[in-house]
């Protein structure tokens, strides 16, 4: 069924059409109806399958026809998310899909001045996207009132738990009316999440899309056995061979991120880094440059592993394997989003073999091994030197030509 045929407002159909969303993804197909009907929903679907629009579309539709529009300091729908990046990203989806409606979306996040946010809240908002810290701050300052909130959405619920937001989830419930609709979206599910979820939903509709393989079918992923000290050569090779590709590289720590970036810089490859050491305005700038493709390489810690929707990432590289097996799924899930295809490589050193094993256990599958024969392996390491070597030769040639020209000129004189 196409979006055209849905019983949703024409204002929404129009923006969906502009976005190029013709038909719903699996999760959207299964979730939109039940959400519109007012059910609580517990949805688990792989990365990049369109979970955001799965709640944004029906929530916007419902809010358009709501009986009591928001009054001062009220929010009709609260979307709680674990990170600032996600808050910004989800607010953008609400605004884009809701472009032709009169609904107002407000994002509350820390790291920026609160004054502007308070102003935005003063007359009430239809949709509020919030990270817990700033939200509780404003509630305590009486600038925000969740008493009339009708819909609660917990997106990236699995990440909320990782970040230690269990208490925040439990606390926010106390500010919300008992009678509300709760929507729970997650890419992975474990017993802890189940317990929390069931604690706050009421007879939920459960939707789970292909739980057998947590990796989306749009992603081809390999493991390459590469020694720690050689990894940079392989990254360099990938970049050099695919100069147009957008590549997202995951490393273990922020120190590693900077180190890999310097190694790339030494061979004239420009890369950005993203980690907890960057402040909010830097982060926004970095994400924009990478999203817009101004810089094609982003080296990041797991800060970016979840939920972040970056258009057209061609390759994900696990330069270091993730310590949390679950994060493997989230990292590789940054490519192959929506209807696109993507490739992920994991560089695994001898020391990381036990981690690989844990990841494979988690996936319930072996990851295909990228065969690198010894010759290609040593060629790749030589590759850097060769490039430099030929640069040097080119330089010499240029110099020779210049000298020749000079002597010609002087002869003419």
Residue ranges that bind ligand ADP, judged by CB under 6 A: 21, 24-25, 28, 45, 47-53, 309, 337-339
Show the CA angle centred on residue 42, arms to residues 38 and 46, nearest 5°.
130
Residue 51 within binding range of Mg ion, rule CB under 5 A: yes
Between 21 and 184, CB nearer to ligand ADP: 21
Of 145 and 309, nearer to Mg ion (C-beta) is 309
Nearer to ligand ADP, 51 or 134 (CB): 51
User: Judged by CB under 5 A, which stretch of 20-28, 51-59, 73-81, 240-248 contacts Mg ion?
Assistant: 51-59
- Of 228 and 339, the one with the shorter C-beta distance to ligand ADP is 339
- Contact between 103 and 60 (Cβ < 8 Å): yes
Nearer to ligand ADP, 117 or 182 (CB): 182
Instruction: Tell me how many residues contact Mg ion (CB under 5 A).
Output: 2
Q: How far is the CB of 140 from ligand ADP (least distance, A)?
A: 30
Parallel/antiparallel/unpaired status of strands 105-108 and 315-318: unpaired
Judged on CB neighbours under 10 Å (0-12, 13-18, 19+), 16 is: buried
Q: What number of helices (H) and strands (E) belong to the chain?
A: 15, 14
**Distances in Å between the alpha carbon of 210 and those of 62, 216, 256?**
28, 9, 35
C-beta atoms surrounding 49 within 10 Å = 21
Binding flag, residue 134, Mg ion (CB under 5 A): no
Taking CB atoms, the residue at the shortest distance from ligand ADP is 338
| End-to-end CA separation in angstroms for the chain | 81
Smallest gap from residue 107 Cβ to ligand ADP (A): 16
Cα distances from 297 to residues 111, 188, 285, 287, 316, in angstroms, run 25, 27, 14, 11, 10
Tokens at 103, concatenated: 């609904």
> In the stretch 289-318, what mask flags binding to Mg ion with x, by CB under 5 A?
------------------x-----------
Binding piece for Mg ion, criterion CB under 5 A, among 25-33, 47-55, 64-72, 239-247: 47-55
25 binds, among ligand ADP, Mg ion, none (CB under 5 to 8 A by kind): ligand ADP
- Closest to ligand ADP by CB, 28 vs 117, is 28
CA atoms within 13 A on the CB side of 222: 11
Q: Which of Mg ion, ligand ADP, none lies near 159, with the C-beta cut-off 5 to 8 A by kind?
A: none
Q: Are 65 and 36 in contact (CB under 8 A)?
A: no
**132 vs 342, beta carbon nearer ligand ADP:** 342
């030509």: which residue's tokens? 401
Residue 335 Cβ vs ligand ADP, minimum distance, rounded to whole Å: 11
Residue 106 binds which one of ligand ADP, Mg ion, none, with CB within 5 to 8 A depending on kind? none
Q: How far is the CB of 392 from ligand ADP (least distance, A)?
A: 44
C-alpha angle with apex 286: 280 to 287, nearest 5 degrees? 90
Angle at 213 between CA 210 and CA 215, to 5 degrees: 105
Under the rule (CB under 5 A), what is the footprint of Mg ion?
A: 51, 307
């Amino acid at each position: 069924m196409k979006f055209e045929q849905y019983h949703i407002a024409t204002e929404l159909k129009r923006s969906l059409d502009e976005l190029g969303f013709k038909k719903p993804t699996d999760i959207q197909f299964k979730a939109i109806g039940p959400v519109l009907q007012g059910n609580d929903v517990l949805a688990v679907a792989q990365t990049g399958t369109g979970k955001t629009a799965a709640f944004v579309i029906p929530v916007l539709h419902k809010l358009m026809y709501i009986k009591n529009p928001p009054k001062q300091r009220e929010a009709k729908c609260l979307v709680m998310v674990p990170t600032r990046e996600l808050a910004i990203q989800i607010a953008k989806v609400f605004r884009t899909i809701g472009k032709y409606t009169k609904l107002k979306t407000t994002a509350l996040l820390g790291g920026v001045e609160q004054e502007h946010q308070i102003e935005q809240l003063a007359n009430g908002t239809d949709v509020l996207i919030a990270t817990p810290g700033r939200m509780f701050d404003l509630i305590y300052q009486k600038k925000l009132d969740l008493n009339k909130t009708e819909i609660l959405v917990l997106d990236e619920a699995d990440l909320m738990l990782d970040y230690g937001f269990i208490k925040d989830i439990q606390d926010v419930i106390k500010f919300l009316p008992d009678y509300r609709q709760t929507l729970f979206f997650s890419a992975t599910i474990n017993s802890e999440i189940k317990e929390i979820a069931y604690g706050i939903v009421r007879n939920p509709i459960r939707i789970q899309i292909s739980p057998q393989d947590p990796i989306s079918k749009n992603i081809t992923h390999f493991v390459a056995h590469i020694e720690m000290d050689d990894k940079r050569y392989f990254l360099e090779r990938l970049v050099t061979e695919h100069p147009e590709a957008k590549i997202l590289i995951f490393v273990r720590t922020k120190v590693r991120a900077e180190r890999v970036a310097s190694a790339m810089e030494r061979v004239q490859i420009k890369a950005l880094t993203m980690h907890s050491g960057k402040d909010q305005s830097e982060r926004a700038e970095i994400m924009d440059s990478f999203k817009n493709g101004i810089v094609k390489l982003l080296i990041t810690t797991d800060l970016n592993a979840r939920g972040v929707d970056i258009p057209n990432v061609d390759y994900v590289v696990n330069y270091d394997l993730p310590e949390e097996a679950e994060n493997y799924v989230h990292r590789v899930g940054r490519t192959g989003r929506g209807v696109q295809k993507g490739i992920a490589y994991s560089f695994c050193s001898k020391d990381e073999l036990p981690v690989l094993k844990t990841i494979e256990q988690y996936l319930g599958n072996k990851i295909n091994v990228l065969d690198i024969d010894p010759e290609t392996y040593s060629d790749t390491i030589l590759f850097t030197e060769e490039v430099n070597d030929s640069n040097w030769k080119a330089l010499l040639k240029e110099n020779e030509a210049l000298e020749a020209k000079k002597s010609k000129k002087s002869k003419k004189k």
